[in-house]
Amino acid sequence: MINSAKVFEKNDWELIIESPGRINLLGEHIDYNDGYVLPTAIDMKTQFKLKKNGSDRACRVYSKNFDTQLIFELDKVKPSQKQWENYILGVVHEIKKMTSELRGFDCEVVSDIPIGSGVSSSAALECGLAYGLNKLFDLHLDRIDIVKLSQRAEHNFVGTKCGIMDQFASVMSKENNLIFLDCLSLSFEYIPITLKPYKLLLLNTNVTHQLASGEYNKRRQQCEEGMHYIKKFYPSTRSFREVTPEVLMELKPHFPEVIYKRCFFVVQEIIRVLKTVEALKVML
């Protein structure tokens, strides 16, 4: 067992950052299809304690959850066999591509976000580290930079071809508001939400999933295949937001059954998000 007190003998942290997980009210499997989503942050967080360690290259990250330490040098960042390490390494790799100001640091990480439960523990890890390093070294990255580099880290080092929603929600959420996010343009609007006397109950089923090796990338590939079929008949179509249910019904005979179902869900889900936003605005 690794004792964090021995890893970092002086806990003189310069910065403490908390990065939240997220839920999504509507818009599942829509962000990577350039549609609209309605996420917001939850009260479960990943905490980062950070400090400069005085070196140019040496970095140490201790995970209290895994009770293990990651040690690496900034000029030798490469993917690891351990998945949790790739979230850290991927973020550092992407930051290095944007600035030369990053230096050696120590970091202690602890999280109460359930891993693999669909509330974006990975995005909280990526965005929290990126946000913390940005503050610690005054890197002048804006919040959208942090969102995008965190997504790239998950694509390039973890292997999950995620959309932008998780990272966007972790960085940009606002209390008592949903984010109505256009995943194509990244324009967004805060939608106030008052649930009283009702509550949303978030349950952890303890069923975990591995997005990179599971169904997520497969489903994304199926959606891309569906768009390929659509463009055969409607070449000017740029995304599913331009596809109507009527067009899908017309093209149904040309689709494999599973691909049609994926496309039908995406088109209907985009419509549901837009109708929900209209309804929420009426309630204001």
Single-letter amino acid, residue 135: K
* Residues 175 and 257 both lie in one domain: no
Q: Please state whether 256 falls in left (phi above 0), alpha (psi between -120 and 50) or beta.
A: beta
**pLDDT band (50, 70, 90) for residue 115:** confident
* Residues 69 and 119 both lie in one domain: yes
pLDDT given at position 197: 86
Does residue 206 sit within a domain?
A: no
pLDDT given at position 18: 97
Does residue 205 sit within a domain?
A: no
Distance CA 133, CA 17 (A): 10
Q: Please state whether 195 falls in left (phi above 0), alpha (psi between -120 and 50) or beta.
A: alpha
* Residues 151 and 245 both lie in one domain: no
Annotation marks residue 166 as catalytic: yes
* Residues 145 and 52 both lie in one domain: yes
In terms of C-beta density within 10 A (0-12 exposed, 13-18 middle, 19 or more buried), how is residue 222 classed? middle
Q: Are 171 and 145 in contact (CB under 8 A)?
A: no
* Residues 187 and 224 both lie in one domain: no
Looking at 143, 161, 192, which one is the last position of a domain? 192
* Residues 153 and 88 both lie in one domain: yes
Choice among 31, 34, 106, 166 that is catalytic: 166
Distance CA 284, CA 279 (A): 9
User: Where residue 255 sits, what CATH number does that domain have?
Assistant: 3.30.70.890
* Residues 173 and 230 both lie in one domain: no
* Residues 50 and 153 both lie in one domain: yes
Residue of 108, 107, 74 lying closest to 92 (CA atoms): 74
Distance CA 108, CA 222 (A): 39
pLDDT given at position 2: 44
User: What pLDDT, in 10s, does the model give residues 133-171?
Assistant: 999 999 999 999 999 999 999 999 999 888 999 999 999
* Residues 92 and 224 both lie in one domain: no
> With b meaning 16 or more CB within 10 Å and e meaning fewer, what string describes 44-63?
bbbbbbbbeeeeeeebbbbb
Asked which of 64-68, 105-109, 196-200 is least confident by mean pLDDT, the reply is 196-200
Does residue 98 sit within a domain?
A: yes
Does residue 100 sit within a domain?
A: yes
Does residue 209 sit within a domain?
A: no
**pLDDT band (50, 70, 90) for residue 221:** very high
Does residue 208 sit within a domain?
A: no
**Total domain count for the chain?**
2
Looking at 138, 158, 192, which one is the last position of a domain? 192
Does residue 235 sit within a domain?
A: yes
Q: pTM here? A: 0.90
Q: What is the DSSP letter of 200?
A: P
Does residue 82 sit within a domain?
A: yes
Residue 1 has pLDDT above 90, yes or no: no
pLDDT given at position 212: 52
- Full domain range(s) for residue 9: 4-192
Distance CA 96, CA 222 (A): 33
Distance CA 267, CA 247 (A): 10
Looking at 148, 177, 192, which one is the last position of a domain? 192
pLDDT given at position 206: 72
Q: How far is CA 72 from CA 15, 78, 129, 250, in A?
A: 21, 9, 15, 55
* Residues 233 and 174 both lie in one domain: no
Q: Are 21 and 44 in contact (CB under 8 A)?
A: yes
**pLDDT band (50, 70, 90) for residue 210:** low
User: Where residue 99 sits, what CATH number does that domain have?
Assistant: 3.30.230.10
The mean pLDDT of the chain is: 92
Question: Which helix (H) or strand (E) is 146 found in, with range?
Answer: helix 143-153
* Residues 248 and 120 both lie in one domain: no
Distance CA 191, CA 38 (A): 9
Residue 181 has pLDDT above 70, yes or no: yes
Omega before 197 within 30 of 0, i.e. cis = yes
Contacts of 47 (CB under 8 A, 6+ apart): 16, 17, 18, 19, 109, 110, 111, 128
* 58 or 9, greater pLDDT: 58
* Residues 52 and 145 both lie in one domain: yes
